[in-house]
Structures are given as C-alpha cells and as structure tokens.
Amino acid sequence: MLAAERHAIILERLDQKPTVSIRALTEQLGVSRETVRKDIELLAQHNKLEKIRGGATKIRTSELPITSRSKLNIQGKSLIAQYLASQIPNGASLFLDNGSSVLALAKALTHHSGLIVYTNDLKVAEVIAQATVELVIIGGKVDVTEMAVQGVEALESVARYRADFAVVSAGGLSPSAFLTDFSREASSMRHLMLSQAQHPIMLADSEKFGVVGHVVFKAPPKPTRIVTDIAPDDEIRRAISQRGYRLDIASEA
C-alpha cells in the first residue's frame, strides 16, 4: 500500500464522515498505528484535514479548501455563471475575486473575447486567460490554500484600477448579520473591488443563505447587485431590500 493511496483513502473517509479514528484506519489500511499517525500529521500540515486526539476531522477553519468547497451546489454556481456571462459583453473590463462561484463564472466566460480582467485568483487567471486581451494579476502574498493573493500590497494594486464590472462572492448571507465573510483580508479585497467598478456584483448561491461568517462585510456601494441562483426566503429578501440593494435571481431570468 503506497503512502499516496493511504492519504487518498483517509481523505475519502473524511468526505463521508466528519471524523476518522486512527484505530479504524489502522485496521482498514493494514498498517501500524504510528504510520497512520504520521499520515495524518502530514495531511494536517498540508491543510487537508485537522488533527484531533485519536484521529482526524475535516477542516473547519474559515472555509474549506477550494477543491472540496467547489463541490457544493455546483448547479447553482454554474446557473449564476451562465446568467451573468450573458450580461457581460465582449471587451468589458472586470475585477474577479477568488472563490469557486467566481471560478465558475470565469469558466463560463472562456468563449468571450477581448476582456480586460483584474484578478487575485491564480485559478481564475489560468481559466480566463484565453478570453482576455489584457489580464492583470494582482500581486502580493499568496494564500496557498486558496491560491489567491491577499493582503495590503494586493489592496494597493487593486486601488490602481477601475473596471466596468466587479464580480465577487459572499461568504454568507443571513437576515441578521447580512453579508459576512470568513477572512478579513478577503473581505477587504472584495469590498475594494466593488468600489472600483461601475457595476458591482456580489454572488451568493443558495449554499450561502443563513451562513454567518465571523467577519462582517462592510456595506458595499449602493449599486451593488446581489445575485443568487434561487430565491432566498422572505427574511433575507427583506434584509436586502431594506438596505437598498437589488436582488437578482438567476433561475428567474
């Protein structure tokens, strides 16, 4: 049994259950307790899981790494992506922040042409490159778990540009806390992008409804449209309209 196989199995177990025990893995993998411990230690260092006494559990800090998180509500995200892509003309300039919803949009935009794109997400850059006439990477320190650039240096760079559109994603959308996020730095980035664009757009697929992140999102500029895949409940709708934002539902287009 190769080390890589064991690692794959451990992570697979964690996709199904929230936790795995070292004891169980020892039997199922047919290796010693210490080996399983070392595997978990290694995976924990790579942020693939979290080490707990006697076993391991899924990552819970902030958001899940992009690979697993992006499995959530794929249809919803791509519905939003198709909807928005049809509204963005060839040759438009746009800010794209990081996140799986935005990545879905980038994929939907691959057949556009002449776009001018500013992004801090390396995956987004990779995907959208062919559709651009100008692609600008926001420079700075990279958050390796997200493969996205964050931090003050990145903010300074963003401040140097303006664009027709800014498309950013929300960490959570709830009636009481309204828009929230899981990272201070990502939140600042998103807010600045919105401010620098003529048409600021915030994505919140239905997975985000009722989710409250630990960072409150500073009120976005007023023309910001909040785009969802399906209609949220009345409480959320009220929260949005009371604050003066426009709600846009992709499935009703």
| Interface positions with a second copy (CB under 8 A) | 2-5, 8, 18-19, 21, 46, 52-55, 57, 62, 122, 125-126, 129-130, 132, 134-142, 144, 147, 149, 154, 157
- Report how far apart, in Å, the C-alpha atoms of 213 and of each of 30, 79, 178 are: 40, 24, 10
Integer distance in angstroms from the first to the last C-alpha of the chain? 52
- 136 CB contacts (<8 Å, ≥6 apart)? 116, 117, 118, 119, 161
CB 250 within 8 A of CB 79: yes
Site membership for DNA, residue 216 (CB under 7 A): no
- In total, the chain counts a number of residues equal to 253
Site membership for DNA, residue 35 (CB under 7 A): yes
Site membership for DNA, residue 55 (CB under 7 A): yes
CB of 157 to a second copy, least distance (A): 5
For DNA, the binding residue among 12, 15, 27, 34 (CB under 7 A) is 34
Site membership for DNA, residue 66 (CB under 7 A): no
- Report how far apart, in Å, the C-alpha atoms of 17 and of each of 74, 83, 127, 190 are: 21, 34, 32, 33
For DNA, the binding residue among 8, 15, 17, 23 (CB under 7 A) is 23
CB of 2 to DNA, least distance (A): 6
32 binds, among DNA, a second copy, none (CB under 5 to 8 A by kind): DNA
CA 145 to chain CA centroid, Å, is: 11
219 binds, among a second copy, DNA, none (CB under 5 to 8 A by kind): none
Provide the 3-class DSSP secondary structure of residue 177.
coil
Site membership for DNA, residue 110 (CB under 7 A): no
Q: Which segments of 17-65 does DSSP mark as H helices, in order? A: 22-29, 33-45
CA 211 to chain CA centroid, Å, is: 14
Site membership for DNA, residue 54 (CB under 7 A): yes
What one-letter code names the amino acid at 89? P
Would you say 151 or 223 has its CB closer to a second copy?
Answer: 151
136 binds, among a second copy, DNA, none (CB under 5 to 8 A by kind): a second copy
Residues that bind DNA (CB under 7 A): 1-3, 6, 21-23, 30-35, 37-39, 41, 52-55
